[in-house]
Amino acid sequence: MSRAASLDEHLVAADLRRQLAHWLAAARIFRDAEEFASLEAWRSVERDVGAPLREQMNKVVEDLIAMGMQTEKLVAEARSNPELLPRAAAAVLRFRRRYVQVDTTLDFLGDAVNSRTSTLLRVALSNLDDLAVESMRPALIKAGKPVPRVLTYQDKGTGASILRAGVRLWAPGAVMPVAAIKIVRHNLYRPTSLFHECGHQVAHLTGWTASVEGALAAALAEDRELAAMWTPWASEIVADVFAFLHTGYASIAALYDVVSDASAILRWPLGDPHPIGWLRTALGCAFSSLCFGTKGPWERLLRAMDAHYPVKLADPSVRPLLERSRAAMPRIAQACLDAPVPALANAPMTSVHDPARVSPAALAELERSAGPALWRSPHWRRSEGIRIVALAGLREAENPDTASLWINRARAWLTTAQAEAA
């Protein structure tokens, strides 16, 4: 081997060592959880949420560092044995790529925790953590399934989302130990979308989605085009049903505020798992009519939507499907509500969550019987927290003149610490 080639190999080995030193040092910084979220934010997360999160973070970091140290040994060997240089170079590249995967995982978890940037926000999100768990508990306990803990976090955008407990994260071997639910800023104090996202978790654990898909196919068996349109939306429809069963009409009004974009409400984007916004709103109003009666604010919402976004504005290729869907809406809604849930011995979700409990009449009775204590009492917070969300959302939606009053009341209630209430 020439002296020049030997020098080049030495330089390559030294450069690999330099690169690896950089990435391995960066990986070791990951050991400090405060690199991703403040100590105050970590303290605001309940122990049974924060502990498994930090345990998962620690595992992926230590696995990454162990990989880096093995790579370090290979690079050291390559300095004295140039034949190992290709293997060492490939190992450094693999380590760098694994670092990026771990960084993505930790950044997501850290951002979720660190969204608790103020005392009021930490209290509000902690209260939402508890409400989310309570919404899932009855069905999952009856189904014999574990009830996952929840970490809610605030972020930008118009719609909520969930990273379900048990899903694999970006870093190999990393599994989400809790359900992470994004709440967008505009709906933080009207959090009906929280229960939509919990519906995704419950549906995943109970086999509900496939059942609703089958129920839709059966309900629309005489119209193959409609069945082909509606059945792929089952995964989002079950989540809408879950939100409706917990917060009633409030969930429909909140949903409409998100989908009522003139550029999108009548469009059918290819591959979108969500129903067309115009139909999704109509379906929610049909749930309300079936469960609460035909007269109510849902009737006015439907008329307002039809006046603002008449079906004639839809693309001609989609318009007939929209019109036939609206004609079939009562049986579509009934099929969704009545769909058997495999993990509940094929009983419908309504057997666990009776929609009558969130009817306007039932919420008015709750308001009357509890009086002003409803918004202050730790008893009512513990026993009726979800229905309080439903009540505040209903009152905000049904009368525009007093909406701001109810928005402020909901915000004050949600930012009251549990410890202070107790």
pLDDT for position 117:
83
**117-121, 175-179, 207-211, 312-316: range with lowest mean pLDDT:** 117-121
Task: Report pLDDT digits (tens) over 235-273.
Answer: 999 999 999 999 999 999 999 999 999 999 999 998 999
Half-sphere exposure of 180 (CA within 13 A, CB side): 23
Which pLDDT band, with edges at 50, 70 and 90, does 422 fall under?
A: very low
pLDDT for position 35:
80
pLDDT for position 418:
63
The pLDDT of 224-230, averaged and rounded, is 97
DSSP state of 33: G
Does the structure show a pLDDT above 90 at 318?
A: yes
Does the structure show a pLDDT above 60 at 396?
A: yes
pLDDT for position 90:
96
Check if the beta carbon of residue 252 is closer than 8 Å to that of residue 288: yes
Check if the beta carbon of residue 160 is closer than 8 Å to that of residue 197: yes
Does the structure show a pLDDT above 70 at 1?
A: no
pLDDT for position 218:
98
Task: Report pLDDT digits (tens) over 19-66.
Answer: 999 999 999 999 887 787 888 888 888 778 888 988 889 999 999 999
Compute and round to an integer the Cα radius of gyration of the chain: 26
Does the structure show a pLDDT above 70 at 421?
A: no
- For residue 287 the two structure tokens come to 């749930």
**Type of residue numbered 284:** G
**Average pLDDT value for the chain:** 93
Does the structure show a pLDDT above 50 at 205?
A: yes
Distance CA 125, CA 369 (A): 28
Q: Reduced to 3 states, what is the DSSP secondary structure of residue 162?
A: strand
Phi-psi region of 53 (alpha: psi -120 to 50; beta: other; left: phi over 0): alpha
pLDDT for position 188:
94
Task: Report pLDDT digits (tens) over 68-120.
Answer: 999 999 999 998 899 999 999 999 999 999 999 999 999 999 899 989 888 89
pLDDT for position 420:
45
Distance CA 286, CA 301 (A): 11
